């Protein structure tokens, strides 16, 4: 394996509203990329740290705006949070309020999941409803119904979800069936059940690796959770949890994004550390498209330049199905595949907005309902584009890497939310990409339109 180049200081890039990414496409990538810790694990493990009154020493935490925001949510609750490099120390011995701040929760949906840990710890929690976002309505009914099944009184008033355990007691173990295997609801309820009285069984639970990571984190603090990663999770409540030193799993979506970066630029790159088992549907689809992927070591993947990319059919599904978070990057890749591809987004109702921006780069995509019909074209050509959400933004950057000429990408705040220094990692692989401060007319985007208003997902 090539030695990986180290990343610059663990600081978020200063963010001017007018910053854009300039991408000069058509260049191959080469070398090794270091994959960061999983965003979706980090956020929910930070919420899980509220369950424990001791010290939580959390390693491999990615440098993301979302992690910073989650830290602000915890600080607003009176929790001590400090970061050094990729290590986060959290001490929630003294939670001073059960009310999370509206401005932060509405920007970061995952912070709502902390309702489970706050309620379990304090017997009361007030969480602003996270609201919808750029990719769909995203209700929290399954979280609420599960907490009610555990004995909580929950009322939603004035946009706040007020929950408390009657008579100042503990939540009670319950048998909960989720109508749909929601990742967030599974995590909220698993955290709540950790300190409940008796046994909780969650049926039709989400099986995502990040759910198992949260369970492993809680178990390392003394929780008794079995079956996380399968569709039935059993949690035997314990009275309290203890201090922990824990390392977060590698980000499978960041890994998938770099695999697509390699595939779309016909490059030979190495990625580590990774957990190939977490990427089974992604690797299978890439191979079907004609991309060669080799397991160089148990935690290292190598992608080789593909001769021809072939069209395919993709349907997003809960894990272990094809991840909705990889749908946009794959759409970028399929714009250059030979033949007609079909992509059906079945998890979120409004997650194909990147199609029209990809068409600005010369792609041929038609969208009907939740299905995109992608007719492969021989090449893309650089243009100004705007990201509408996190993964849509990644897709546009990937397309820009393959397009002839210059692509100007607007929407860096989306990328910085969920990718750890994506532009720098791509630069280290030889991509011609740079962050520049664009002088622009306020309220007008680089392609002349008014910027869309979006909320974090």
Report, as residue numbers or ranges, the catalytic residues. Answer: 133
We find the least distance from the C-beta atom of residue 189 to ligand UD1, in angstroms, to be: 10
Give how far Cα 46 sits from Cα of 20, 100, 219, 377, Å: 30, 14, 15, 44
Does 43 bind ligand UD1 (CB under 6 A)? Our answer is: yes
Cβ nearer to ligand UD1, comparing 258 with 337: 258
Contact window for ligand UD1 (CB under 6 A) among 6-14, 183-191, 286-294, 296-304: 183-191
Does 138 bind ligand UD1 (CB under 6 A)? Our answer is: yes
- Reported as type and span, the H/E element at residue 271 is strand 268-272
Q: Which of 195, 128, 200 is nearest to 165 (CA)?
A: 195
Contact between residue 212 and residue 248 where contact means Cβ atoms under 8 Å apart: no
Query: Pick from 139, 222, 227, 405: which binds ligand UD1 (CB under 6 A)?
Result: 139
Cβ nearer to ligand UD1, comparing 208 with 408: 208
Place of tokens 């987004």: 345
We find the least distance from the C-beta atom of residue 112 to ligand UD1, in angstroms, to be: 9
Q: Which residues make Cβ contacts (< 8 Å) with residue 420, sequence separation at least 6?
A: 7, 36, 62, 63, 64, 251, 254
Q: How many residues does the chain have?
A: 457
Q: Where are the beta strands (DSSP E) in 12-164?
A: 19-24, 30-34, 55-59, 80-84, 87-91, 124-128, 153-157, 160-164
Does 420 bind ligand UD1 (CB under 6 A)? Our answer is: no
Q: 253-276 burial by CB neighbour count: b if 16+ within 10 A, else e?
A: bbbbbbbbbbbbbbbebbbbbbbb
Strand order of the sheet with strand 224-226? 175-177, 199-203, 232-236, 224-226
The contact mask relative to ligand UD1 for 198-227 (x = CB under 6 A, - = no) is --------x---x-----------------
Query: Pick from 136, 222, 430, 451: which binds ligand UD1 (CB under 6 A)?
Result: 136
Closest residue by beta carbon to ligand UD1: 184
Does 312 bind ligand UD1 (CB under 6 A)? Our answer is: no
Does 325 bind ligand UD1 (CB under 6 A)? Our answer is: yes
- Which pair of structure tokens corresponds to residue 297? 């070591």
- Which pair of structure tokens corresponds to residue 339? 């033949």
We find the least distance from the C-beta atom of residue 319 to ligand UD1, in angstroms, to be: 7
Does 278 bind ligand UD1 (CB under 6 A)? Our answer is: no
Query: Pick from 141, 153, 245, 277: which binds ligand UD1 (CB under 6 A)?
Result: 141
Interface positions, 74-133, toward ligand UD1 (CB under 6 A): 109-110
We find the least distance from the C-beta atom of residue 213 to ligand UD1, in angstroms, to be: 11
């Amino acid at each position: 394996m090539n030695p990986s180049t180290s990343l610059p200081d663990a600081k978020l890039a200063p963010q001017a509203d007018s910053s854009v990414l300039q991408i000069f496409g058509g260049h191959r990538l080469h070398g090794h990329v270091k994959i960061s810790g999983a965003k979706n694990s980090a956020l929910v493990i930070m919420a899980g740290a509220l369950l424990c009154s001791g010290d939580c020493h959390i390693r491999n935490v990615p440098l993301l705006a979302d992690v910073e925001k989650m830290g602000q949510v915890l600080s607003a609750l009176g929790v001590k949070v400090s970061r050094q490099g990729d290590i986060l120390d959290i001490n929630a011995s003294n939670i001073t309020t059960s009310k999370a701040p509206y401005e932060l929760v509405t920007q970061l949906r995952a912070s709502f999941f902390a309702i489970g840990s706050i309620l379990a710890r304090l017997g009361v929690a007030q969480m602003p409803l996270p609201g919808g976002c750029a990719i769909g309505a995203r209700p929290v009914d399954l979280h609420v119904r599960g907490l009610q099944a555990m004995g909580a009184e929950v009322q939603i008033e004035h946009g706040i979800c007020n929950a408390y355990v009657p008579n100042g007691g503990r939540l009670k173990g319950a048998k909960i069936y989720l109508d749909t295997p929601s990742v967030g609801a599974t995590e909220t309820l698993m955290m709540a059940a950790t300190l409940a009285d008796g046994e909780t069984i969650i049926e039709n639970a989400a099986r995502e690796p990040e759910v198992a990571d949260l369970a492993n984190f809680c178990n390392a603090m003394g929780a008794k959770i079995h079956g996380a990663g399968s569709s039935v999770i059993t949690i035997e409540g314990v009275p309290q949890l203890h201090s922990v030193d824990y390392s977060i799993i590698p980000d499978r979506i960041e890994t998938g994004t770099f695999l697509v970066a390699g595939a779309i630029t016909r490059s030979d790159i190495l990625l580590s550390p990774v957990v190939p088992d977490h990427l089974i549907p992604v690797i299978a689809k890439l191979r079907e498209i004609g991309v060669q992927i080799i397991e160089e070591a148990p935690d290292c993947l190598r992608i080789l330049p593909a001769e021809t990319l072939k069209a395919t059919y993709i349907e997003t599904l809960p894990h272990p199905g094809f991840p909705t978070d990889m749908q946009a990057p794959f759409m970028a890749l399929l714009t250059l595949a030979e033949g007609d591809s079909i992509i059906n987004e079945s998890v979120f109702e409004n997650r194909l907005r990147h199609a029209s921006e990809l068409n600005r780069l010369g792609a041929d995509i038609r969208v009907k309902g939740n299905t995109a019909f992608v007719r492969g074209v021989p090449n893309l050509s650089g243009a100004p584009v705007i990201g509408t959400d996190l993964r849509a933004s990644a897709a546009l950057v990937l397309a820009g890497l393959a397009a002839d000429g210059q692509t100007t990408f607007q929407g860096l705040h989306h990328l910085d939310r969920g990718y750890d220094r994506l532009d720098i990692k791509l630069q280290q692989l030889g991509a011609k990409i740079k962050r520049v401060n664009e002088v622009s007319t306020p309220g007008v985007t680089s392609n002349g339109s008014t910027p869309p208003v979006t909320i974090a997902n």
